[in-house]
Amino acid sequence: MNKLTEVLLAAGITEEDELEFARWHYNEWMYTPKFERYLAWEAPCGIMKEGCFSGGSLSYMGVEYSQENNNPRYGCPFEDGVNCPHKKSDIKNFPGMACVYQLSNKAYDYIYSKERIEDHWHKLNMEDHNTQIAGTLKVFCACRKYDKYNRSYSFKLNPESCAYRKCKNGICCATGKERNLKNVNIYYDILRKWKYKLGLAEWEEKRIEKGLKVFSRQVALTTAEDYLRMCKVETGTGADDGQDLYFSENHPYNTGEYSYFHFEREIVNIRIESRESRDLIQDLADIAEGMEVVHASDVKKRKAENKRERKKKRQEAKERKAEKSNISRWLSDVDDETKSESHRLFCREQLDKRGIGNVQKNKYVQVTLFDA
């Protein structure tokens, strides 16, 4: 229960009462959004903030920080650029949220407000950005970061950002070196091994999936090289691998029908290629060793074909259903005197096209070769 609820309940106000500034929500009183717009909040240093919009509350170390408790936390406009003595050290896990505000008994003043400081930083940021664009830096760089306290741009190479933004700059802004813009991708293989034991029988199964890609689309050769140099090729475990890994780690013995079960997966043969290449001789050698060889492109193509086949079957079933419905409607309308003559003629023509004719007891039957 927040402090606002305690004060209102102490004043004799119940949840059935209707208030202009508060509403009953989840067994406690909360400020209404309309009333929150007119509140003025003040930080310990004197900086003011206009309005307060409910976005939940922040609970930390047993303390509930919310506007109803008169202690909401908002980001400091100076962030870490100023060594403020009012910043608390008990909320290190929430950077930028170290300012505890309280309701102010003073009128809101934009000159001493948090909004004015943020507007000032934004104005300086735009001025420096326009200066950089009109001056030395005339291209966009995903590795560029603006330091608002030093009013300058810094560059830190991030190959993942370069790949996501499809960087096509001839000269890298972070390193100053020329970039090779040849379109490539990073390919790798996954080797899976299963070890089983059932009584006295032991055997092992191997499967290698080849041609998996790191990026969903091609990137520059320099970006791929920087990625392999700075990042680690990782891939998430699917549902099947996740289940096998779980049982292998937690239930190695007496797992289901087996006396022993072990599963491991390894990323092998990482390479940079313009397109997926296949080594038929190596595939045959792997198969000769008892290994199952699967190519990711074949799996993707097979899934696409199965999807098209399922879509085609659904479409055919939909057309058969529509055709059946139309025939049923035409059969009922062809002898309906309430329908117009042109409509009944249309129904008769459609039935004749489908080989349904010869009225017998107000029913159309299929025409055969022996009806003549």
- pLDDT per residue as tens digits for the range 325-352: 999 898 888 888 888 989 989 998 888 8
Helix (H) or strand (E) holding 185: strand 183-198
Residue 222 within a domain: yes
The domain total for the chain is 3
Farthest CA pair distance, the chain: 105
The whole-number pLDDT of residue 33 equals: 81
Q: Tell me how far apart the alpha carbons of residues 287 and 262 are, in angstroms, rounded to a whole number.
A: 22
Residue 152 within a domain: no
Residue 236 within a domain: yes
| 237 plus 288 within the same structural domain | yes
Which of 62, 89, 110 terminates a domain? The answer is: 110
Cα distances (angstroms) measured from residue 327 to each of 330, 331, 343, 354: 5, 6, 14, 9
| 102 plus 203 within the same structural domain | no
Residue 266 within a domain: yes
End-to-end CA distance of the chain: 90
Mean pLDDT of 316-329: 92
| 200 plus 244 within the same structural domain | yes
Question: In which band, very low, low, confident or very high, does the pLDDT at 149 lie, cut at 50, 70 and 90?
Answer: low
φ/ψ of residue 343, rounded to 5:
-65, -40
Question: In which band, very low, low, confident or very high, does the pLDDT at 172 lie, cut at 50, 70 and 90?
Answer: confident
Query: Is the entire prediction scored with pTM above 0.85?
Result: no
The whole-number pLDDT of residue 325 equals: 92
- Give the pairing type, strands 152-155 and 144-147: antiparallel
Mean pLDDT of 181-197: 91
| 194 plus 234 within the same structural domain | yes
The answer, yes or no, to whether residue 158 has pLDDT greater than 80, is: yes
By the 8 A CB rule, do 359 and 344 touch? no
The sheet that has 48-50: what strands, in order across it? Answer: 48-50, 40-42, 102-103
Token pair 């920087």 is found at 226
By the 8 A CB rule, do 175 and 157 touch? yes
The whole-number pLDDT of residue 360 equals: 44
| 296 plus 323 within the same structural domain | no
Q: Tell me how far apart the alpha carbons of residues 230 and 165 are, in angstroms, rounded to a whole number.
A: 18
Residue 146 within a domain: no
The whole domain housing 339 covers 319-371
The whole-number pLDDT of residue 167 equals: 87
Q: What interhelical angle do 341-353 and 296-333 show, nearest 10?
A: 130
| 189 plus 296 within the same structural domain | yes
Nearest to 140, CA basis, from 160, 125, 155 = 155
The whole-number pLDDT of residue 362 equals: 45
Q: Residue 134 has which token pair? A: 């009109």
For residue 171, give the DSSP letter: B
* pLDDT: which is higher, 55 or 297: 297
Q: Tell me how far apart the alpha carbons of residues 55 and 97 are, in angstroms, rounded to a whole number.
A: 14
| 293 plus 335 within the same structural domain | no
φ/ψ of residue 301, rounded to 5:
-65, -40
